[in-house]
Structures are given as C-alpha cells and as structure tokens.
A and B are shown apart, each in its own frame.
Chain A
Amino acid sequence: MERPTAILRPGLLPEPLIFERGAPGRSGALVDAAAAGGPESSEVLPPALRREDDLAGLPEVSELDVVRHFTRLSQWNFCAATTLYPLGSCTMKYNPVMNEAVAHLSGFADLHPLLPTSWTQGAMELMARLADFLREVSGLPGMTLQPAAGAHGELTGMKMIRAYHVDRGDARRRVLIPASAHGTNPASAALCGYGVTEVPANREGMLDIETVRRLLASDVAALMVTNPNTLGVFERDIAAIGAAVHDAGALLYCDGANMNALMGVAKPGDMGADVLQFNLHKTFSTPHGGGGPGAGPVAVSARLEEYLPIPRLVRDASGWRWSDDFPGAIGRVRSFHGNFGMLVRAYCYMRALGGDGLTDATAMAVLNANYVRARLQGTYPLAYPTPSLHECVFSDRDLEPTGVHTLDVAKRLLDYGFFAPTIYFPLVVPGALMIEPTETESKETLDEFVAALEGIAAEARRDPEMVKSAPHATFVGRLDETRAARRPVLRWTPPEPER
C-alpha cells in the first residue's frame, strides 16, 4: 500500500496522519504547570494510580503543523458551502454564517450549565422562546429541547409512549413502522423494548388505511410514520389513520425529519400526532458538522405532556428555573439541558426568517424539488408518479441494459463537482436515487445539476465502463469498502522500528 504522497488532484496537497507528522519533544501549546503552585502529581498520586505510558502515541507537533494538517484535510471535503449537497432526507440547506457568530458570544459559549439560574435567565429565555416557536410549527402543546439528534428524539418519544401505556396497565408489545422508514425508527422502537411490524406501502407509495386498520391489534403501542414520507409523498389519509390509531388505543409517532416540507402547509398536531421529533440540523439550518452535533427537540400532544423528560423549564415570580419535580417523567435522557449551542443557532435562524420566511422556505424547497423532478423524469424513472413535496426519488431501472447502477451514477456525479443524492434508500425502491435540493439552491445550480445527471445517463449508454470506474477526478479513487470491513484497521499503529 502506498502512502498518499502523490498529489491526488491538481491544487490539493497530500497529507499524512497527524501521528506521522512532527518530532519527539515538540508541542503546540504548553502551559506552566507550576503557575498556581501546589504539589506535583507524583507527590499526590500513589504509583498504582499514575499514568503508565507517559501518553505515548499522542501527537508531537507544532501549532503550524496542526494548522497545515487540518486546513489541508478540510480541502478534501465536499460541503454545502462549496457545492450542492442534494442528500435526500438530510436537508442540506445553507447554514447562515450569522448563526455561528451568535453561538460564539461569550454569554452563550462560556456559560456553565450548573450556574444558579439567576445567572442564566438569558439562555433560559432563549430556550423558552425556541420551544414556543417549535410548538407553533408542530401544532402540539408539549415540548422538550433535550434530545441531541433525531434518533435521540425518537428514543425519547418512544419512551414517553411506553410510559403512557404502562400507566394504563398495558405496556403493549409492538410498533407498526412503514417499510420506507428510516433505520433509526425501528432501532429506536427496539431500544424501548418493542417488536417491530412492517407496514407495506400501497401502489401510490402511501400508507393504506385499510392495511393499517388490519394491523392495529390490541398489542400495538404506536404507529411510527414519517410525513411526508421518505419518498417525499404526503400521506393523504394521515388524519384518518391517526384517528384509527387512537381508536385502537395506540398512539401516533411522527418522524419530523421532513418538516422542511410542511412549514405553513400542515401541522402534525392537526394530523393527530402524539409525538414529533424535530431535526434542527435539517429544518432549522444548524450545520451538520460532518455528522453532528444536531438537536432533536420533541413536541407532544396533551396525552403525553406528563411524561416529558426532566429537567423541565418552569417559570415563577423570580423568572425561569429548572425543575425535576415531575413524577410521571420518563427521567433524564442526557446530561444537562440539551445541545444549547445548536438551539442558539436554530433560534437565530427562526427569528431572522420569521413565520413568513419559514413559509417561503418550505414553498421554495417544494418548488426546487418539483423542478428537478420535472426536468429529470424523462431521464431517470420516478419511483412513484404520486405528487411529491420537498424531495423526489428516482431509480436506476432504465440503465439496466448498460450495467450501470445507482452507485456508479452517484460516484460519477462527484466528478461533476456535486455531492451525490442519498442512494439505496428508501429500501422500498430498488436502486433509489433520492434528491432533496432544499430551498437555498438557485435555478442555475439546479440546471447544472440536472445537466450533470443527464450527461451521466448518456455516458452510461456510450461508455459504461467509464461510469462504472468513477470517480476519476476526486481526491482519491473509489475506495475498497469490502477490504475495510473484512480486515478492520480502526486506528493507526506506529510502524515497527527498522532493524
């Protein structure tokens, strides 16, 4: 195996691992250990409690080494700031720079979570206002800002559903989940001790109310739906389905990952939802960070308010304070009060856009997705002809004779300078290409993107091998994932010393 010493792509510099840089004895930041006096650790810690390896294996580099290293690595990433990132279901909209400036204010960034609440009224006020905004968007009365991400919100919501049923003397055993659902839905239900029954979609890519009714046995605790679902299709019968779920004594969980399609269009509370988790890192513009941190606030119906996790924000004559004094609560789901830094960014965004701006964001997200859909449906077959909202799902069926598959199309798109759509998801669409442009992309960008996908379809017919061996113009070529999984190398180890 070769070290990446060759220049991978003109203009980009190679870079080893940080552990391969530097020299023994170097440090980028040293402090004077004696500055405040006090005994040395060797006088205080008995030998059995002392570190045994003197931190061997950690980097020995200068500040400039570090700056070069991470700046170079950053240049190997595609990101929303450099290109269209049309990952379906992920809502990679523009992350306003203003949010970052605000989150770094010392009054937010340097605030210890256990300060007396008389010192944190500004932070708590911000959280209370954000909770109110999210209540309004969801149409639901109860709210917790604690969960750290969408999946964590699902877990929190399903725990509340379980607590509700346990209180009624009947924990119930199963949760119904559509086959098109995101993997976190069944995984979150399972973490709460539930078995999962899959609900098939009908020919329109929607839930069928008769099928749901048939599956709603007395041991079903909840139906977990995503609306619009992962095909971008609005569940037309959702209100009737919600009523059927309630008639069976079960509850309706709504996965709110797709709320970018619904602002000003429909409120989950009006559909009968009992729980809705938001993904602030999707709908409300907090950056994805290459995999988080996000935030997954959860809104609930009146039925579930008593089960919301602790601590809860309460207001009395002297202002906001935290309270754990809620006997019905499911308990605590993480430390402290939530991913406050992300809540600041989301509030900042919602405040700037206002009700009219959020409504416009949804409208333009739907317009952009439908534009891409209209432009591409002659080139790639739509998975379902049903009208869709903020995203659209195609398949690779028409490329079958060329031997080119969805994965190849995705890789070739990277050569055109775009990130790829979500692929092979939802699982109900063979060879799915799921595109969510979001509202912040311009018509020119979408036209270039469409032209790229049309170009790839033509290339697949003309020169399938070239497409199948893509990408050709990226920082590295196609990577061997099988090898990575078969012989996992999950950390760097120093080379054997030469003899």
Chain B
Amino acid sequence: MRFTPHTEGDVRAMLATIGAESVAALVAHVPAALRDVAALRLPPGIDEREVRAEMASLAAANGRPDAVVFLGAGAYPHFIPAAVEQLAGRAEFATAYTPYQPEVSQGTLQVTFEFQTAIAALTGMELANAGMYDGATAAAEAVLMTQRLRPGRPLVAVSRALHPQYRAVIATYLAGLPDAELVEVPYREDGTTELPSDALLARASCLVLGYPNVFGAIEDLEHTAAAVHAAGALAVSATAEALALPLLRTPGGAGVDIAVAEGQSLGLPLAYGGPGLGLFASRQSFVRNLPGRLVGETVDTLGRRGYVLTLATREQHIRRERATSNICTNHGLCALQATIYLSLLGRHGLRAVAERNLRGAHALAARLGRAGRLRFAAPYFNEFVLEIRGARRRWETALADGVVAGLPLGDWYPELEDCLLVCATELHDTAAHARLASALEQGGT
C-alpha cells in the first residue's frame, strides 16, 4: 500500500521548482558508503485486504473462545461502554499532537483539565498532572520526586507487597542516582505492610505502599502516613486497580503526599498490557516539583475562559538536563478515554461498578471455600490470595478446561508457592464463578 499522493506529474513539477534532476539527487549529499548498503530487505507491500487477513489470523492465535480468566495482578478486565471507545477514537482527538497551539487545541486541553480535576477528585488529592506512561513508571517518578523533596535521605522504602513490576521499575529508575538505596519492607501475616522502624524512616525520602497491594489487601494508609510523616519522610500510595478507589478511603484523605495509579481500569482495553495510563496526584505545595505536563485555566484576549499547557519551566523542553522528568509524549489519548469513562459512569456509576466488583469477588471467595482458604485476613476489593494445596497442578488442570485460575504466586513470592492470586470483576457472573470453583475442586483429585 501507499499513502503518498504524488503523481508522476507532481514529482516532475516539484523537482523543477527545487532545481533537482531526480528524487535520488535530493539525498545525494548523504555519503555513498551509507546509501549503497541502505536497501531495506523487507517483504514487499500488500493491500489492505491482505493485511487485515494476516492480522486477523495473528489475533485469532490468541486466547480461547470459551475461556474464563480470573487474572488481575496489575491489569484488570472491565466492561467498556461503546460510547467510550467511539468518542475517544474520533480523529479530532486521535490525530492531534500535544496541544502546542492552544487556540486550535482547546478540545484536547479542556479534556485534559477535566482529567486533572477528575483524578484529583478520585484520589482525594489537591492536584493531578496530565498523566504518565503507566502505574509503574508513575511510581518510579514519584520516588524520584521524593528524592528531590527530601535531599540527604538516601533510602527509598518500598513495601514487599507492592506489585513486583512496580518495585522493579523503581529499582531501574533509581540506579541513576548514585547514593540512593532501595529497601524492601516486609509484609505481615494479614497481607498488609509492616511499619518500618523510625530509624529506617528517618533516613528515607519515602515509603511506597500498594493500595490495594499486590495481594489485593487494603493497607491502613492513614496510620502508615502518620508514622512516615512523624519521621520526616513522605508517604506514596500506588494503586494498580483504580476502580477500587470509589470505595476506599482516599489517599488524600488518609494524608498521603503523592498518590499514583494505573488508570487502565478506567475504560482502557487490556491490550496485552499496554498502553496503560499513569495517574499522578500530589499536594499543591509540590507543584513545581511535579513531573509531566499540566494544563491550566486562563483567558483569551476577549476575557473568555480557555486552557493552556502551563508551568512548563519544570519540563525538558525548557529546563533540559535540569527538568523534573524527561517525559514528553505521554499517554494523552488514554487520559482522554479515562475522562470519558469517568464522566459516563460518573459519581453514581463508579460507586455501583466498584460495589459490584467487591461483592462479586467476595461471593467468589466464599464459593472457593471448599477448594482452598484465604491466605490473608486483611480486607480486600476484587482480588485475593487463595491458598490451595497443589496450586500449580490445579491451575494447569483448570487451564486445560479453559479456566485461567488467576496467577500462581510462587513465581513472584517463593514462600507463596501454594497460592493463587484470583481476581473477579463485573465481567464475571455466577456461572463463571461456578466454573472456577469446580475446576479447582477437580484439579486436586
């Protein structure tokens, strides 16, 4: 296929205007030694029908039509109303660039302002930025921000019950700071995080907790934040399942300083894990240390309300090596899609769908009572750890029946080899619950 519109006549006329012999002459200043070996050994182009057929066959090689999947662990299956994807797919949003000319980008800018407002409300924080790549990179940027805000404190404390991929990304980002050191804080018997010692916190810039954590357990953020503050450090919460927030004590209400989250649950498809959406919210007083873009309200020459990118002096294109982050292109369209989802469900729909998740997961856990038991006693939202003898064997047996019985946790936590991390959302009805229960009960025999 070609999307170039040039006719032979166009090319001839354009070359004449330029004063060049041929199109090849336009690249003749590139050294011949490079040009001579530059031919692309790629398959020849094909037409749209052929491309679509090939892509359909690759897509068909994934999943199983009769499957039921109880996987969460950082990516959550939720229902996406048709209006969400249809509106977000509008070319006016999808094919615009970052809104560098605000007078002709008010659509993107106003939506981003609405996104910042909605995320601040959802997290109970004073302000939110325009979004980051994903929850894990947002957590890493939050940690770097605490290192800027609390200089002279080399430690970064993270809960061992924080999603292991978030911990791994934090470790990668921290490797650039020569003095910083990552310390893992153990989890307790009930699945929530132990309070680190005052001595540790006194040398730490922050403590990062999952909320809910990777076991689905809901941490007591308020209690922890108070202890962290008493030692002069900052409290960071990282939420992988944003749909838990409509039911939980808000991070802001609990006194957290920076709340980050993965926004995929807010109307984005799973898409094999990306693109997701990093949510980043903090205290107002940290605004000049925030990474990422911010949209602010202003007026035009006639005094009419409008929106612009603002406080850019934090950013790479102005500050270069002294910027608060290197981020440029973020996940703007994902933020827009989340804004549509948050608007459509709104205050009441969000509460209802969150309630549906919590109730369904608890109904499922009760149903699995004969196959196994809850490993942790802490309250949970839509995900829990099931301890079950021969977990892996049962998981394999269930898989053969088209049931993905959550995630065997032994890969991430060797001490939890006999445990499955099970997630149930509004997509799982009682029939699906029954299939999981019977698959797991069978697998042991």
Q: Which residues of B sit under 8 angstroms from A22, Cβ to Cβ? A: 346
**Residue from the set A96, A104, A357 with the largest chain B CB neighbour count within 10 Å:** A357
Query: Is B87 close to A, CB under 8 A?
Result: yes
Q: Which residues of A sit under 8 angstroms from B3, Cβ to Cβ? A: 93-94, 96, 285, 353, 361, 439-440
Q: Which residues of A sit under 8 angstroms from B101, Cβ to Cβ? A: 78, 410-411, 414, 419-420
Give chain A interface residues in 100-147, CB to chain B under 8 Å: 100-116, 119-123, 125-126, 133, 136-137
Query: Is B56 close to A, CB under 8 A?
Result: yes
- CB nearest to A262 among chain B residues: B38
Stretch at the interface among B151-159, B193-201, B298-306, B436-444: B298-306
**For the complex, what is the distance from the CA of A73 to the CA of B88, rounded to whole Å?**
11
Query: Is A168 close to B, CB under 8 A?
Result: no
Interchain nearest-CB distance for B340 vs A (Å) = 6
Query: Is B377 close to A, CB under 8 A?
Result: no
Query: Is B43 close to A, CB under 8 A?
Result: yes
A side interface size, CB within 8 A: 211
**For the complex, what is the distance from the CA of A156 to the CA of B91, rounded to whole Å?**
31
Judge whether B104 and A188 touch: CB under 8 Å: no
Stretch at the interface among A246-254, A452-460, A483-491: A483-491
Judge whether B330 and A70 touch: CB under 8 Å: no
Interchain nearest-CB distance for A480 vs B (Å) = 5
Judge whether B54 and A53 touch: CB under 8 Å: no
Interchain nearest-CB distance for A268 vs B (Å) = 10
Query: Is B319 close to A, CB under 8 A?
Result: yes
Query: Is B328 close to A, CB under 8 A?
Result: yes
Judge whether B108 and A291 touch: CB under 8 Å: yes
Q: Which residues of B sit under 8 angstroms from A101, Cβ to Cβ? A: 52
Judge whether A344 and B250 touch: CB under 8 Å: no
Judge whether A265 and B301 touch: CB under 8 Å: no
Query: Is B397 close to A, CB under 8 A?
Result: no
Stretch at the interface among A55-63, A297-305, A396-404: A55-63
Query: Is A54 close to B, CB under 8 A?
Result: yes
Q: Mark A395-434, 1 if CB is under 8 A from B, else 0.
A: 0000000000000001100100001101001000000000
Known A53-B250, A105-B59, A336-B165; contact A239-B92, beta-carbon cutoff 8 A: no
Query: Is B242 close to A, CB under 8 A?
Result: no
Judge whether B27 and A154 touch: CB under 8 Å: no
Q: Which residues of A sit under 8 angstroms from B379, Cβ to Cβ? A: 44-46, 49
- CB nearest to B94 among chain A residues: A287
Query: Is A323 close to B, CB under 8 A?
Result: no
**For the complex, what is the distance from the CA of A196 to the CA of B250, rounded to whole Å?**
41
**For the complex, what is the distance from the CA of A490 to the CA of B60, rounded to whole Å?**
44
Judge whether A38 and B20 touch: CB under 8 Å: no
- CB nearest to A445 among chain B residues: B5
Interchain nearest-CB distance for A22 vs B (Å) = 8
Judge whether A340 and B320 touch: CB under 8 Å: no
Judge whether B11 and A367 touch: CB under 8 Å: yes
Q: Mark B99-137, 1 if CB is under 8 A from A, else 0.
A: 111111111101111101110111010011010011111
Q: Mark A49-85, 1 if CB is under 8 A from B, else 0.
A: 1111111111111010011011101111111111001
Interchain nearest-CB distance for B382 vs A (Å) = 10
Judge whether A45 and B104 touch: CB under 8 Å: no
Query: Is A3 close to B, CB under 8 A?
Result: yes
B side interface size, CB within 8 A: 209
Give chain A interface residues in 1-52, CB to chain B under 8 Å: 1-4, 6, 8, 15, 17-19, 22, 25-41, 44-46, 48-52
- CB nearest to A470 among chain B residues: B103
Q: Of B13, B272, B347, B429, which one neighbours A111 at CB under 8 angstroms?
A: B272
Q: Which residues of A sit under 8 angstroms from B325, Cβ to Cβ? A: 187, 191
Query: Is B407 close to A, CB under 8 A?
Result: yes
Judge whether A265 and B316 touch: CB under 8 Å: no
Query: Is B230 close to A, CB under 8 A?
Result: no
Q: Which residues of B sit under 8 angstroms from A478, Cβ to Cβ? A: 103, 300-301
Q: Mark B290-316, 1 if CB is under 8 A from A, else 0.
A: 000111111111111111101111011
Judge whether B116 and A490 touch: CB under 8 Å: yes
Judge whether A479 and B103 touch: CB under 8 Å: yes
Judge whether A19 and B114 touch: CB under 8 Å: yes
Known A81-B92, A102-B55, A265-B27; contact A293-B331, beta-carbon cutoff 8 A: yes
Judge whether B103 and A293 touch: CB under 8 Å: no
Interchain nearest-CB distance for B209 vs A (Å) = 13
Known A291-B97, A491-B128; contact A122-B356, beta-carbon cutoff 8 A: no
Query: Is A150 close to B, CB under 8 A?
Result: yes
Interchain nearest-CB distance for A48 vs B (Å) = 7
Q: Of A189, A290, A353, A491, which one neighbours B120 at CB under 8 angstroms?
A: A491
Interchain nearest-CB distance for B415 vs A (Å) = 19
Query: Is A476 close to B, CB under 8 A?
Result: yes
Judge whether B118 and A36 touch: CB under 8 Å: no
Known A333-B172, A370-B26, A442-B10; contact A27-B348, beta-carbon cutoff 8 A: yes
Known A58-B121, A293-B334, A480-B299; contact A112-B97, beta-carbon cutoff 8 A: no
**For the complex, what is the distance from the CA of A100 to the CA of B96, rounded to whole Å?**
15
**Residue from the set A154, A263, A419 with the largest chain B CB neighbour count within 10 Å:** A419
Judge whether A475 and B106 touch: CB under 8 Å: yes
**Residue from the set B60, B63, B307, B325 with the largest chain A CB neighbour count within 10 Å:** B63
Query: Is A379 close to B, CB under 8 A?
Result: no
Q: Which residues of B sit under 8 angstroms from A46, Cβ to Cβ? A: 379
Q: Which residues of A sit under 8 angstroms from B316, Cβ to Cβ? A: 151, 183-184, 186-187
Q: Of B89, B222, B273, B310, which one neighbours A488 at CB under 8 angstroms?
A: B310
**For the complex, what is the distance from the CA of A365 to the CA of B30, rounded to whole Å?**
16
Q: Which residues of A sit under 8 angstroms from B177, Cβ to Cβ? A: 193
Q: Which residues of A sit under 8 angstroms from B47, Cβ to Cβ? A: 352
Judge whether B40 and A359 touch: CB under 8 Å: yes
Judge whether B269 and A341 touch: CB under 8 Å: yes
**Residue from the set B46, B52, B275, B399 with the largest chain A CB neighbour count within 10 Å:** B275
Judge whether A291 and B95 touch: CB under 8 Å: no
Known A73-B110, A90-B97, A341-B274; contact A44-B362, beta-carbon cutoff 8 A: yes
Query: Is A312 close to B, CB under 8 A?
Result: no
Judge whether B30 and A234 touch: CB under 8 Å: yes
Query: Is B383 close to A, CB under 8 A?
Result: no
**For the complex, what is the distance from the CA of A290 to the CA of B89, rounded to whole Å?**
12
Judge whether A183 and B318 touch: CB under 8 Å: yes
Q: Of B5, B169, B303, which one neighbours A335 at CB under 8 angstroms?
A: B169
Judge whether A265 and B275 touch: CB under 8 Å: no
Judge whether A116 and B104 touch: CB under 8 Å: no
**For the complex, what is the distance from the CA of A342 to the CA of B276, rounded to whole Å?**
11
**For the complex, what is the distance from the CA of A353 to the CA of B331, rounded to whole Å?**
26
Q: Which residues of B sit under 8 angstroms from A309, Cβ to Cβ? A: 172
Q: Which residues of B sit under 8 angstroms from A270, Cβ to Cβ? A: 33-34, 37-38
**For the complex, what is the distance from the CA of A425 to the CA of B270, rounded to whole Å?**
37
A selection of 29 A-B contacts at a CB cut-off of 8 Å is A3-B305, A26-B346, A36-B360, A36-B424, A44-B362, A49-B249, A53-B250, A55-B246, A66-B87, A73-B107, A75-B107, A76-B104, A79-B92, A102-B55, A137-B40, A159-B172, A159-B175, A183-B323, A196-B320, A267-B38, A287-B333, A334-B133, A334-B169, A335-B134, A357-B2, A387-B29, A419-B97, A477-B300, A488-B294
